[in-house]
Structure 1
Amino acid sequence: MLNSVLVVDDEASIRSAVEQWLSLSGFEVQLFSRAEECLARLPRDFPGVILSDVRMPGISGLELLAQVQRLDPDLPVILLTGHGDVPMAVEAMRDGAYDFLEKPFSPEILLSSLRRALDKRRLVLENRRLHQQADSRARLDATLLGVSQALQTLRRQVLELAPLPVNVLVRGETGSGKELIARCLHDFGPRADKPFVALNCAAIPEQLFEAELFGHESGAFTGAQGKRIGKLEYANGGTLFLDEIESMPLAQQVKLLRVLQEQKLERLGSNQSISVDLRIIAATKPDLLEEARAGRFREDLAYRLTVAELRLPPLRERREDIPLLYEHFARQAGQRLGRQVMALDGPQLARLFSHDWPGNVRELANAAERQVLGLQEQQAEPLAVGQSLAAQQEAFEAQCLRAALARHKGEIKAVLHELQLPRRTLNEKMQRHGLSREMFVKGS
């Protein structure tokens, strides 16, 4: 509930009386004898109101108002004035003060003004939150490309998990984009301005793993010249991404678990504990709990890492995203290589849809770059082995419809023109394949 009030007054009796009135009425109150103290403790997007005397030593109430206006012009400031200060207070309201109360004032008048100010603040903060959500959604749509239901669900999950202080396990096949998801969880959360540190657990020799993760002091072992900050410490305040976590040596799993439990670490060769505050995002291809049950991974660490879990669907399970992704990668390659990018024709699209993409998005990006370079295209493969011709034709028709709808972002007229179909026929085919234009309209 939004009910916080910061009270600034150099008179202890006024502070005490106001605190008593407001506390009895259910407000959360913080008292300050000087405006400097209030400004130093004022958080961003403060969910409340400032109640300040005008005449105070040091920074006056009017100067406090001016500084608050620069920090957050929508934060309500109510001024307390003596009789001689009323003309000054009226002028201050023109400069942005929410209200002024002339001393002595009754508790009822104070409470009425505060409640109106808090209602206004509540609307402002809700409006900001909605704008931030819309902005984040738009930025995420431009980062995690795809129109499939699976990608829409994944984007929603990322936005829900990004602000939460929980460790996340990302599961997906090779090349499916696990590091990109980890990066989004970091970039769209409160740690975005802190380090994002990535470590591939499978790429570090076991004998070097501890030093890489925890760092070391000079002389900690043969060849340890100088002090080195490890990945855990370097990620302090931010996010540590541990790719292929299932490859982490069991001995290091024990030490990582201790860091997560105690939020402290020790560099190799040191007895000094260092406090760390970081979020762990781990990525794996196999089921980590199954790995634990098979004795290849510590079960207690697996549970610590899987507070939340995201599954990345392989590209073959979201074929409707292929044209959009391919064109994106081809455009990137064309810009980087200085080559013109040609639009996909029917046979090329058929080849893209028929391929099973075992290397997922990474393989698709490689195929797009090879196409831009004019190298040999991949050979067509059957859409689904063992299906009848009619079933394969139905599947291919659905893919073509999804691709056209995705390209034109659900614009039916453009789809009709591209596919050369009557409106009634397109409607019937979309209904049969469970498609609707809303699935492809940006932001829906």
Structure 2
Amino acid sequence: MESSAPHRAAPPARILVVDDDADMLRLLSLRLKAAGHDVVAVGSAEAALAQLDIARPQLVLSDVRLPGRDGLALFDEVRARHPSLPVILLTAHGTIPDAVEATSRGVFTYLTKPYDGKELLEKIAQALALSAPAVAQPHADEDWRAEIVSRSHRMTDLLSEAYMVAQSDASVLLRGDSGSGKELLARAIHRASPRAARPFVAVNCGAIPEALLESELFGHVKGAFTDAVSNHKGLFQAADGGTLLLDEIGDMPPALQVKLLRVLQERAVRPVGASQATPIDVRIISATHRDLEAAMASAQFREDLYYRLNVVSLVLPTLAERREDIALLANHFLDRLSRKYDKRLSGFAPEALKALTTAAWPGNVRQLYNVVEQVCALSTTPLVPLTLVQRALRTPSTQVLSFAEARQRFEREYLVGLLKMTDGNVADAARLAQRNRTEFYRLLQKHALTPGQFKQEAGDADDVVDERHE
């Protein structure tokens, strides 16, 4: 029931039908027009090529046996002129081997005569979905969700719910597998909310070392610890009046869960080392791929914090659950990335796009983006071929970083590791890195790292009171 709706809503497709049998041509035209398509019917390959010069259709449906130039030769010419235009061949049993060979060269599919009417319409719908334009312009009232490229029913329903939630100030918990687009949805909710003109701030609770996370969230005052040479506003204060996304909230350390709960209850934040709390006005959106109910059962996540965050819960579908969006997303990413890599890419070969739409996608939209980036970086032809897509799908999908970006990331992770190992002792850390202290301090400053935040205070553990069993 879901799959038929997009076809009814879609605008009519222009289909070029080629067959030298006048009765068959009439029957095909009537069937396709009844399904809502615009049909141009011709009796030869030469007439079809003349029509291609007049207006480009969205699909070519051709018999293999034609007078003069046959359907296979017509396909070769179509492919040369319009590489991404899908072609479906109709074939008698005697020409099946030729049609099978043609599919390996890029024909979308073939059907044997007498064809099944329902199967024909299904194949046409699939081919049209694969060759659909990359991104439809959002309506003026849809600017809030412009970053989310989708036409699936699952996402339409989710976005309708998200828009309604955005109008309130309720805390939202976004659930979904890694790479499914939780941060994009959080940004969309912020843009649709009355807070849209105020800041949106995102923090990944699992990516920041525990020793730094408290200061990042709540801030610190000058002299709170060694190297705290000035006051530092935390992310709660940076997001004041706006929205704060606590991504991967399930990875937040238990000690900080207590302090976060206090901030949410009191609507005020006390920076590390401060004696007074500062009032804040922040809308909280949290996100996780973890099973928080299981985490609560194993005492890894506080029940009272869970209910404070989970006022409204939205679940993002996996990419496999919104498969009709894959071609749309792939073309959207290719358009964006071709500009990044300064390449003239016109799209994916039909068989390459077909491979993308049938892949498993355990890494969801993020994995699709990385695969498209890999093929974009490596493609030497305007049309991305099947071989590149197959190679990208076979290899684990990793983010493609520039050398400078990769070096920057390594440097920061390396410095954090050294400071944790040496308990924030700069002299020891510099010695291990075989760098002098001046150069080491310069590196720390470059990455905004303060050694004092890595020092273990004896009284830290005593500051936290576990209220779960009180």
- TM-score by length of structure 1 reads 0.54
Q: How many angstroms does 1:209 deviate by?
A: 1.7
Q: Which residue of 1 aligns with 2:390?
A: 378
Matched residue, 1:110 = none
Does residue 274 of the first structure (1) align with residue 286 of the second (2)?
A: no
> 2:304 aligned to 300, 318, 324, which one?
300
2:180 corresponding residue in structure 1: 176
Amino acid corresponding to residue 318 of structure 1 in structure 2: R
Aligned length: 249
Distance, in Å, in 1 between the alignment partners of 2:168 and 2:291 is 23
Determine helix, strand or coil for the equivalent of 1:321: helix
- 1:220, 1:157 → 2: CA distance? 44
C-alpha distance in 2 between matches for 1:208 and 1:348: 45
- Give yes or no for contact 1:351–1:380 (8 Å, CA) kept in 2: no
**AA in 2 matched with 1:135:** A
Q: Deviations over 1:254-302 (max 9, x none)?
A: 1111111110121111111210010111110012232112211001001
Residue 231 in 1 paired to residue 243 in 2?
no
How far the C-alpha of 1:379 sits from its partner, in A, is: 5.1
CA distance in 1, matches of 2:296, 2:378: 47
1:38-57 matches, cutoff 5 A: none
- Quick one: distance in 2 between partners of 1:252 and 1:142? 35
Alpha-carbon distance in structure 1 between the residues aligned to 2:312 and 2:150: 23
Q: Deviations over 1:381-401 (max 9, x none)?
A: 89xxxxxxxxxxxxxxxxxxx
CA RMSD in angstroms, aligned pairs only: 2.0
Contact 1:356 1:381 in 2 (8 A): no
Match of residue 140, structure 2, among 130, 135, 140: 135
Q: CA deviation at 1:347?
A: 1.3
Q: Please tell me whether residue 359 in structure 1 is matched to residue 363 in structure 2.
A: yes
Aligned positions of 1:341-420 closer than 5 A: 341-375=345-379, 376-378=388-390
Q: Which residue of 2 aligns with 1:107?
A: none
Counterpart check, 1:288 vs 2:300: no
Q: CA deviation at 1:341?
A: 1.9
- Distance of aligned partners of 1:360 and 1:369 in 2 relative to their CA distance in 1, 3 Å threshold: same
Q: Which structure 2 residue ranges, 5 or more long, are not aligned?
A: 1-137, 380-387, 395-470
- Counterparts in 2 of 1:140 and 1:341: CA distance versus 1, 3 Å: farther
SS at match of 1:318: helix
TM-score by length of 2: 0.51
State whether structure 2 residue 262 is matched by structure 1 residue 258: yes
Please tell me whether the aligned partners of residues 371 and 392 of structure 2 are also in contact (alpha carbons under 8 angstroms).
no
- Tell me the SS of whatever aligns to 2:390: coil
**Structure 2 CA distance for partners of 1:333 and 1:381, relative to 1, 3 Å:** closer
**Structure 1 match to 2:91:** none
Q: 1:211 Cα deviation (Å)? A: 1.1
**Alpha-carbon distance in structure 1 between the residues aligned to 2:251 and 2:393:** 33
Percent of aligned positions that are identical? 45
Measured at CA, do residues 240 and 140 of structure 1 come closer, stay the same or move farther in structure 2, by a change above 3 Å? closer
1:58-207 to 2 correspondence within 5 Å? 135-136=140-141, 138-140=142-144, 142-207=146-211
1:166 to 1:322, Cα distance in 2 relative to 1, 3 A:
same
Structure 1 partner of 2:90 = none
Residue segments in structure 1 that go unaligned for 5+ positions in a row: 1-132, 383-444
Q: Is the 8 A contact 1:144 1:155 kept in 2?
A: no
